[in-house]
Each structure stands twice: as C-alpha cells, then as structure tokens.
Amino acid sequence: MVLAGSAACGTVENLSAGQKLDRAFDKLGKERSLSLELALDTDAATLKAMGAETEPGEQMPDGVAEWLSDARISVSVQSRKPLEKSGEKDFTAMAVKFGGPDGALFEYRLVGDYTYVRADVDAFAEMSGSPMPSADELPDSAGAFKKLLAGDWIKVSTKEIEETGEQMAGARGGTPSAEPTLDAGTQKKLVKALRQVIAREVDFKTSGGEDGTEHIEATAPFRTLLTELFDKLRPLADELPPGAELPTAKDFKDAPDEKVTADFTLKNGELSEVSVDLAKLAEKAKVKKFALVLRLGEGEQATAPAGATEVRIDELMEGFFGGAAGGGFAEEEFTDVPQG
C-alpha cells in the first residue's frame, strides 16, 4: 500500500507502477481467503558462507544448509469478511506449515473450535544431525506428548489454550494485555510519512512479459532507505504502541548501502509473486543469489486433518515432564542441537 500510494509524489514511471500495484493489492483486500508461501531463493553453499560471515568460526552443518535452501513457510487464512475489513474474530480458519521438499517439519492449523499441531521430530534430527528422543523411548506416562513426538496429529480446544494463557499470566501476577493497535489517525500519519520517503528514494521500473505477466521493480539503497524511514517515524514515537522503540541512524551505520530490488510479478493485473534480492547485502561472503520470495496462491487450505487425537493442555504438560522424569529426555541429548 505504501509503495503504491507513494507513486503519486514521484515520476510518471512511478505513477504508472504505483497505480498497477494499488489495483493488485486492492484485489487481494477484497478476497475472503488468502494463501501464500515464503521461501529463500539460494543454495546451501551461499547459506554456509553467509553464516560464517555472521558468526566467524562457526560452521553451519551441511544438512541444515541443504534443508534451509529448500525450506518453505506456507500460510493460509479464511475469513467471513473481505480481508481488508477483517478483524481477528472474523477469521474462521488458519494454517501454517514449515517444511521442505520432503514434507513438513511442523504444521499448525486453526479450524473451528480446535487447534491442530503436528511435528516431524525424526526429520528435524536428520536435518540437524543431532539425536532426538523418539516416541519409543518415552514411558506410557508421556501420553499425549508421546503422540506428538511420534509425528501424529493432535488437537486441543482453542478455548482451553486461551484460558491456559490467561491462567499463566495471572500466576505471574499480571493480566493478558490487549494486542497493541494504532488508531486511524496515527495510521494515516505513518503512511504519509513512509510514502514521502519511498517516493524520494525508490525508483520504479515496469516491464512486460508473456501471457499477461508484468514485472514492477522497486529499487532503493538499503541503509539510506531504512535510515530515512525511521527518521520520518521518530516524531510519531509517542503515538506508537508501548515498547515500539525505534532504531537510530547509529544502529544502521554498519548496514550496507547497496541498492536492493523488490520485484513484483503481476499476472493479468493480480499479484502473484514478490521477490526481494538481498545478495548485495552480503559484505564479504561470495553470494551468487540470495532472495526472499513470496508466492501468492501457493499455501494449503486450512482443513481439519483426519485422525487427529484430542488432548488436553495438562496432558501435554504432564507428558512432557513425565517423559523427562522417566528418562525420556536427558540434558546431554540436546547439547548438539544448534541454537538460534
């Protein structure tokens, strides 16, 4: 929205690109469901090189690098209302999956009155090269947690999860606080401030393709853009939700000022993909390609999985601590698990 609206302050090229993006995002807002997939466009060698640059002396395991290079996060939501008008209570279903080409590492679904969860612990152990306790090693007292460790779907009442969260907050001497929100007036000020910076610093370029495909590229110097964006937001700091501390120019002084490009792909006027090329942000590592890619329409629909076992929160907690007490978990089993 910010990119599209900023075009009114820019060149003719920006105006044309902004109008097309505006229409594409407007179409998304009128939908009642949305599915998307987030992935990296890179290879294992690049990830290892960038990891070594970030943490000198540390080496990313080959299995982790290979897996991450093909990893995908998919999300889908369904709402009673158009997405642009939907609040939290309007969403009827949601699904999140984190996995790779060989399947999901973790899945979460919210459908109706239940929250569904599944994890592939064996796949994580193989990917990381670190041993993990198996379901067979746990005592029967582990119960519901044993099923989760075995890779089975379990389901928990969403209401029970919410109540447990409230009880835990009360035990800590507090009450759950409402999600921080921005009032309409502050939102307008933020959008106006961001649009002014983007219109000044971002260059747009459009190019046509085959079969109704069109690309819109938005390019800007990374450090300059971030610095000016937050400089514009700083006068509004008192109107932002509590805890929203803004970084200063000093925080960005070591960030590279190379130009970064976001490529928006439109198919017959509808947004189908966004790719952000981040390869130039690598300082010393030799990077051939490194992009963050968002593909729309690629996520799975949120449906209740068949055969899920209904459990209670206290069963899961008892199973976890029961497994630990029964010897299912030992501290040394986790010493090689990578942190992060």
pTM here is 0.75
Residue 326: what pLDDT? 45
The two structure tokens encoding residue 225? 């853009």
Contact 259, 273 (CB under 8 A): no
pLDDT at 68 over 60: yes
Torsion of Cα atoms, 16 then 190 then 233 then 202, to 10°:
-10
Residue 110 lies in a domain: yes
pLDDT at 329 over 70: no
Q: Which of 8, 11, 16, 4 is nearest to 206 (CA)?
A: 16
Least confident of 61-75, 196-210, 215-229, 312-326: 312-326
CA neighbours closer than 13 Å in the CB half-sphere of residue 313: 13
Q: Which of 104, 48, 35 is nearest to 71 (CA)?
A: 104
Report, as an integer, the average pLDDT of 76-96: 88
Domain total in the chain: 1
Residue 141: what pLDDT? 63
Residue 339: what pLDDT? 47
pLDDT at 208 over 90: no
Residue 189: what pLDDT? 81
Residue 299: what pLDDT? 62
Q: Is 134 helix (H, G, I), strand (E, B) or coil?
A: coil
pLDDT tens by residue, 1-53: 455 444 444 555 555 787 788 788 888 888 999 999 999 999 888 888 887 77
Residue 321: what pLDDT? 60
Residue 25 lies in a domain: no
Residue 3: what pLDDT? 53
Domain of 74 in residue numbering reads as: 32-43+59-181+300-334
Percent of the chain with pLDDT over 70: 77
Residue 192 lies in a domain: no
Residue 177 lies in a domain: yes
Report, as an integer, the average pLDDT of 243-253: 81
Residue 1 lies in a domain: no
Residue 250: what pLDDT? 86
Residue 219: C-alpha distances to residues 202, 213, 275, 278 (Å): 5, 20, 12, 11
Residue 316 lies in a domain: yes
Question: For residue 6, how many other CB atoms are within 10 A of its CB?
Answer: 26
Rounded to a whole number of angstroms, the CA Rg of the chain reads 23
Residue 99 lies in a domain: yes
Residue 103: C-alpha distances to residues 71, 124, 136 (Å): 10, 11, 22
> Which range has the top average pLDDT, 143-152, 165-174, 206-215?
206-215
Residue 233 lies in a domain: no
> Could you tell me which residue, 12 or 239, shows the higher pLDDT?
239
pLDDT at 224 over 50: yes
Q: Give the chain's mean pLDDT.
A: 79
> Could you tell me which residue, 128 or 156, shows the higher pLDDT?
156
